[in-house]
């Protein structure tokens, strides 16, 4: 019998306030949603998945020196259902993306010792609905597996920059260095602790900073789309039939992925070439 999820904190949140923060700042924190024991197991799952992926071609994709991204299947993360059914998480997803939001991506980013500053960037080009209607149609949900300290290369974000748009952005994602003073002036470093969750627009300009410690800083990434956003074509998430049948119907409605006889290792499609060398 599966143990009940170890949830902490109050799921009753001011959803409209959270939505407003995402539209204003591009990011909002949901502190203390899970216990440290739950996060410790998440950390073990991430480590096991990384060790499997790093030893095969296309399994662990470089996002800069000593920094990797790995996409995984839901069954590789034992707390997946706890995360995607948490009332605070589902409320914010529905508040921003509507009741028919879709879970399209599950992975993790790990900066190891020696990781350098990434260039300022967004995770994909601005979609037309955002450019023309100022509507956000995707979210990135992040869960740290460790207590983040200053020397571990904290995530740095420039609030309010999800609306920045200029034809000089390389691939629609990388601002020219003439824009950097704007981001450095706005930059906020985040120091989440085990149990904290953040929800952000992946369009908000951000970067990973240099890891001067001897520790890694793994972060789980859950990608969620509004219907028609189209980010699912960059990912190959799948579930087996027994796992699918174990899920509550309320979750199945948001999990649009193949149901397969057996899981195949994922070869990452979303390779952000501009991050490979770090910030020159």
Assign residue 98 the CATH number of its domain: 2.60.120.620
Q: What is the pLDDT of residue 270?
A: 52
Confirm whether 265 is domain-assigned. yes
pLDDT per residue as tens digits for the range 162-181 = 999 999 999 999 999 999 99
Q: In sequence order, what E strands does 145-238 have?
A: 155-157, 188-189, 197-200, 206-208, 219-225
Q: Is the pLDDT of residue 70 over 50?
A: yes
Distance of CA 187 to the CA centre of its chain: 19
CA nearest to 98, candidates 64, 137, 70, 66? 137
**How many CB atoms sit inside 10 A of residue 280's CB?**
7
Q: Is the Cα torsion angle 124, 126, 127, 130 positive or negative in sign?
A: positive
What confidence tens digit (pLDDT) does each residue in 204-236 have? 999 999 999 999 999 999 999 999 998 888 888
Neighbours of 243 (CB within 10 A): 17
In a domain, 5, yes or no: no
| Mean pLDDT confidence for 239-264 | 96
Using the 8-state DSSP alphabet, how is residue 97 labeled?
H
What would the pLDDT profile of 127-139 be if each residue is shown by its tens digit? 999 999 999 999 9
d(CA 39, CA 145): 6
* Contact indicator for 207, 153 with CB cutoff of 8 Å: no
Q: Per-residue confidence at 3, pLDDT binned at 50, 70, 90?
A: very low
Residue 7: its pLDDT value, please? 41
Q: pTM for this structure?
A: 0.91
Q: Which pair of structure tokens corresponds to residue 17?
A: 């306030």
Rg (the chain; Cα; Å): 18
**CB contact burial 109-121 (16+ within 10 A = b; e otherwise):** bbbbeebbbbbbb
Res. 62 pLDDT band, cuts 50 70 90: confident
State the pLDDT at residue 94. 96
Burial class (CB in 10 A: 0-12, 13-18, 19+), 258: exposed
279 falls within a domain:
no
pLDDT of residue 233: 82
Which residues constitute the domain of residue 39? 15-269
- Establish if 277 belongs to a structural domain: no
Tell me what the pLDDT averaged over the chain comes to: 92
Q: In this structure, is residue 113 part of a structural domain? A: yes
Q: What's the total number of domains in the chain?
A: 1
What 3-state DSSP class applies to 91?
helix
37 backbone dihedrals φ, ψ, rounded to 5°: -65, -40
Q: Flag whether 260 is in a domain.
A: yes
Distance CA 51, CA 257 (A): 24
| Residue 154, in any domain of the structure | yes
Q: Looking at the domain assignment, is residue 233 inside a domain? A: yes
Three-state SS for 26-61 is CEEEECCCECHHHHHHHHHHHHHHHHHHCCCCCCCE
Which among 252, 177, 237 has a CA at the least distance from the CA of 207?
A: 177
pLDDT of residue 2: 30
pLDDT band for 1, please (50, 70, 90 cuts): very low
Q: Please give the share of the chain, as a percent, with pLDDT higher than 70.
A: 91
**Do the bridges between strand 259-260 and strand 102-111 make them parallel or antiparallel, or are there none, so unpaired?**
unpaired
């Amino acid at each position: 019998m599966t143990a009940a999820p170890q949830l902490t904190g109050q799921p009753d949140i001011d959803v409209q306030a959270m939505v407003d923060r995402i539209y204003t700042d591009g990011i909002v924190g949901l502190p203390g949603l899970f216990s440290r024991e739950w996060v410790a197991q998440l950390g073990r799952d991430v480590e096991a998945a990384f060790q499997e992926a790093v030893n095969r071609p296309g399994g662990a994709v470089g996002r800069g020196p000593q920094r990797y991204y790995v996409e995984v299947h839901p069954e590789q993360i034992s707390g997946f259902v706890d995360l995607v059914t948490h009332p605070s998480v589902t409320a914010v997803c529905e508040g921003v993306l509507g009741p028919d939001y879709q879970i399209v991506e599950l992975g993790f980013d790990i900066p190891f010792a020696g990781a350098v500053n990434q260039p300022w960037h967004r995770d994909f080009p601005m979609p037309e609905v955002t450019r023309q209607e100022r509507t956000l149609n995707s979210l990135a949900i992040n869960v740290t597996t460790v207590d983040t300290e200053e020397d571990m290369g904290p995530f740095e974000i420039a609030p309010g920059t999800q609306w920045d748009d200029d034809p000089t952005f390389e691939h629609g994602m990388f601002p020219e260095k003439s824009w950097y003073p704007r981001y450095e002036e706005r930059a906020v470093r985040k120091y989440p602790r085990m149990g904290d969750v953040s929800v952000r627009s992946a369009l908000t300009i951000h970067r990973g900073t240099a890891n001067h410690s001897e520790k890694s800083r793994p972060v789980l990434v859950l990608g969620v789309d509004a219907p028609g956003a189209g980010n699912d074509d960059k990912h190959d998430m799948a579930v087996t039939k027994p796992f699918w049948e174990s899920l509550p119907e309320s979750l199945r409605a948001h999990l649009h992925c193949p149901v397969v006889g057996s899981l195949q290792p994922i070869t990452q499609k979303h390779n952000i070439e501009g991050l490979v060398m770090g910030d020159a």
